[in-house]
Amino acid sequence: MLFYFIFFLFFQVISISAEDKLVHVHALWRHGERNPRKLFYGDLNNASAFPEGLGQLTKNGIHKFFILGQFFQLRYIYENKFLSPEYIHSEV
pLDDT tens readout for residues 65-91: 999 999 999 999 999 888 899 988 988
What is the spatial distance between Cα 70 and Cα 38, in angstroms, rounded to a whole number? 31
Q: For residue 48, give the DSSP letter.
A: G
The model's pTM:
0.66
Each residue's pLDDT tens digit, 21-51: 888 888 888 878 999 898 888 888 888 888 9
> Where are the domains positioned within the chain?
22-91
- With a CB cutoff of 8 Å and minimum separation 6, the contacts of 91 are 83, 84
